[in-house]
């Protein structure tokens, strides 16, 4: 019997929530680590950034899960730190200091809240042809990230790392093939646990992170001092905020398709408002911008659990981990090759979800074939060739080197030109 949504018990939902946490944890802590490294922050400052970042991911996710008339998309979406913010925030910090970083984040959060109603009307520019192409690119561009983790971010990869990744993948696939119901829905979590146990036998699990972490941490507003509202920094982060909104739109549309829930203009508006509120709070508590995490889309698809209940537990666990860094450090025990094995499965599922959406497109229309093919090619090509654009202005590089954004823009523009007579209905409910 299929494991239905209403059969979830609190314990099962909590385990599913933990699985979602593990899927996004590595990506979330990577942003503060990279920015702290670029700006030469102290170990104390880095500890604050990581702990508060994880706490605010929980707060942001909780806001997005709401279904009231003011904010919240009401879908099983997990919010994490927007990776595309690393380069601009590092640049802002190096030139204008930490105050300008968080001042620009606060301003961009307010901007997102203010334009949420207008931005929600762009849904008509995202028919299955566009969203399927973009979501396919999201999945495919994330696969190299998984491969990097599988290799333990070394070239060439050592045999030990490859074996651990293979063990993790085989466990996930075996559980999917041999089991049903709840066990199948937590296949990725089991794979990560078994992979980590295997890694511990060959000395690849570092427990020192738990010993060194403080026992308790409390997020503090303006930890790095008063925000500085510098105009060029604000403009740069507003651009990044709009990029994040485009990416989040793809995540929301994918989850809407997976769960079978209609995504109305009102829901999109409330989703953008929640995201803007999360970014605003991130700036106040001196963390970073938040966006819908695409890796968790694959987990929803793979587990077959399409309700919000497990994600509420994810939000709760994130806030607990953020308050208790010593406990939260346990999530860092999973070695990169093990995590990469799980990520490879998840990101493949994201790509296939996009392909499934493209399956509803009429490709007898040669224009549609051109739009999808060229958009995917642009997304993958520009994402993997960022170095060839280094002579361009920094603001332009941020757009061109982001394959997901380039695929989105290409698909939207081409669809508007070639299929301009087609109209996509959108409910205002």
In a domain, 280, yes or no: yes
Summary mean pLDDT of the chain: 83
In a domain, 170, yes or no: yes
Model pLDDT for residues 57-86, shown as the tens digit of each residue = 999 999 999 888 889 888 888 888 877 787
Q: What is the per-residue pLDDT for 424? A: 44
Judged by average pLDDT, the poorest of 140-144, 311-315, 397-401, 418-422 is 397-401
Model pLDDT for residues 95-140, shown as the tens digit of each residue = 889 999 999 999 999 999 999 988 877 667 778 898 788 888 878 8
In a domain, 3, yes or no: no
Judged by average pLDDT, the poorest of 29-43, 53-67, 91-105 is 29-43
In a domain, 40, yes or no: yes
Model pLDDT for residues 194-207, shown as the tens digit of each residue = 999 999 999 998 88
Q: What is the per-residue pLDDT for 328? A: 61
Domain enclosing residue 242, as ranges: 9-418
* 96 CB-side CA count, 13 A: 19
Structural domain tally of the chain?
Answer: 1
In a domain, 131, yes or no: yes
Grade residue 429 by pLDDT with cuts at 50, 70 and 90.
very low
Q: What is the per-residue pLDDT for 1? A: 32
Q: What is the pTM of this model?
A: 0.69
Q: Whole-angstrom Cα distance, residue 16 to residue 316?
A: 13
Q: What is the per-residue pLDDT for 332? A: 66
Q: What is the per-residue pLDDT for 319? A: 92
In a domain, 426, yes or no: no
pLDDT above 70: percentage of residues in the chain: 91
Is the per-residue pLDDT at 309 higher than 50? yes
Q: What is the per-residue pLDDT for 220? A: 87
In a domain, 425, yes or no: no
Is the per-residue pLDDT at 231 higher than 70? yes
Is the per-residue pLDDT at 160 higher than 80? yes
Is the per-residue pLDDT at 428 higher than 50? no
Is the per-residue pLDDT at 386 higher than 60? yes
Q: What is the per-residue pLDDT for 162? A: 95
In a domain, 106, yes or no: yes
């Amino acid at each position: 019997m299929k494991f239905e949504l209403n059969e979830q018990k609190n314990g099962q939902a909590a385990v599913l929530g933990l699985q979602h946490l593990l899927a996004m944890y590595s990506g979330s802590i990577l942003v503060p680590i990279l920015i702290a490294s670029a700006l030469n922050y102290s170990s104390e400052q880095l500890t604050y950034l990581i702990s508060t970042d994880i706490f605010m991911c929980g707060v942001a996710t909780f806001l997005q899960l709401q279904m009231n008339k003011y904010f919240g998309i009401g879908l099983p979406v997990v919010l994490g730190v927007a990776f595309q913010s690393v380069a601009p925030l590092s640049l802002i910090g190096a030139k204008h200091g930490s105050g300008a970083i968080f001042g620009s984040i606060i301003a961009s959060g307010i901007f997102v809240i203010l334009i949420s109603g207008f931005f929600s009307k762009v849904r008509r520019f995202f028919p299955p042809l566009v969203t399927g192409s973009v979501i396919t690119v999201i999945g495919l561009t994330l696969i190299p990230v998984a491969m990097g983790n599988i290799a333990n971010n070394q070239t060439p990869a050592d045999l030990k790392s490859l074996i651990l990744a293979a063990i993790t993948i085989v466990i996930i696939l075996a559980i999917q093939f041999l089991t049903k119901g709840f066990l199948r829905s937590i296949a990725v979590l089991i794979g990560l646990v078994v992979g980590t146990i295997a890694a511990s036998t060959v000395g690849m699990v570092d427990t020192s992170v738990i010993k060194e972490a403080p026992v308790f941490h409390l997020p503090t507003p303006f930890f790095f001092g008063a925000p500085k509202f510098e105009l060029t920094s604000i403009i740069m982060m507003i651009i990044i905020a709009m990029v994040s909104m485009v990416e989040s739109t793809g995540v929301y549309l994918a989850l809407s398709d997976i769960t079978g829930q209609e995504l109305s203009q009102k829901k999109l508006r409330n989703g953008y408002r929640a995201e803007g509120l999360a970014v605003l709070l991130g700036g106040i508590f001196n963390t970073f911008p938040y966006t819908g995490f695409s890796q968790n889309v694959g987990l929803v698809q793979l587990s077959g659990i399409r309700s919000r209940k497990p994600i509420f537990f994810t939000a709760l666990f994130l806030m607990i981990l953020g308050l208790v860094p010593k406990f939260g450090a346990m999530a860092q025990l999973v070695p990169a090759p093990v995590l990469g094995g799980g990520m490879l499965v998840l990101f493949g599922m994201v790509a296939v979800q996009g392909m499934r959406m493209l399956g509803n497109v009429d490709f007898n229309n040669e224009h549609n074939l051109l739009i999808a093919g060229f958009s995917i090619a642009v997304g993958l090509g520009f994402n993997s060739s960022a170095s060839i654009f280094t002579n361009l202005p920094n603001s332009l590089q941020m757009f061109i080197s982001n394959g997901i954004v380039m695929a989105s823009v290409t698909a939207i523009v081409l669809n508007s030109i070639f299929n301009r007579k087609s109209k996509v209905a959108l409910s205002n409910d």
